[in-house]
Copies of this chain bind each other. A is one copy, B any other.
Amino acid sequence: MGEKIYVGVDLGGTTIKVGLCDAKGQLLKTYEGDTEAQHGAEHVLSNSAAYVRKLFDQTEYDWDQVEGIGAGIPGFMDIPNGFVKLSPNLGWRNVDVKGTLEAKLGKSVRIDNDANVAALGEAWGGAGAGIDNLICFTLGTGVGGGIIAKGSLIQGFAGMAGELGHLNVVPEDEAISCGCGKKGCLETVSSATGIIYMAKQAVADGAETSLSSLESITAKDVMDAAKLGDQTAIKIVHRAAFYLGRAMALMSVTINPQRFVVGGGVSKAGEYLFQIIDHYYRELAVENSQEGVDIVPAVLSNDAGVVGAAGLHLFG
Contacts and interface: CB of A to CB of B under 8 A. Distances in A.
Interface of A: 76, 132-133, 147, 149-150, 152, 154-164, 166-168, 171-173, 180-182, 246, 249-258, 284, 286-289, 291-293
Contacts of A171: 171-173
A172 B171 CA distance: 9
B163 A286 contact: yes
Contacts of A167: 250, 253-254
A166 B256 contact: no
Contacts of A181: 286-287
Instruction: Please tell me how many copies of the chain the complex holds.
Output: 2
Contacts of A251: 254
Contacts of A289: 156, 158, 160, 163, 166
B160 A288 contact: yes
A252 B145 CA distance: 13
Mostly helix, strand, loop or mixed at chain A's interface? loop
Nearest to A173: B171
A90 B155 CA distance: 37
Contact of A168 (B133, B158, B250, B257): B250
Given A150-B154, A171-B172, A293-B157, A253 B288 contact: no
Contact of A256 (B158, B255, B292): B158
The listed residue with most B CB atoms (<10 A of its CB), out of A132, A154, A164, A286, is A286
B180 A286 contact: yes
B287 A256 contact: no
A172 B243 CA distance: 13
Given A147-B254, A158-B288, A162-B254, 8 more contacts: A133-B157, A149-B156, A160-B252, A160-B286, A161-B254, A164-B253, A168-B250, A251-B254
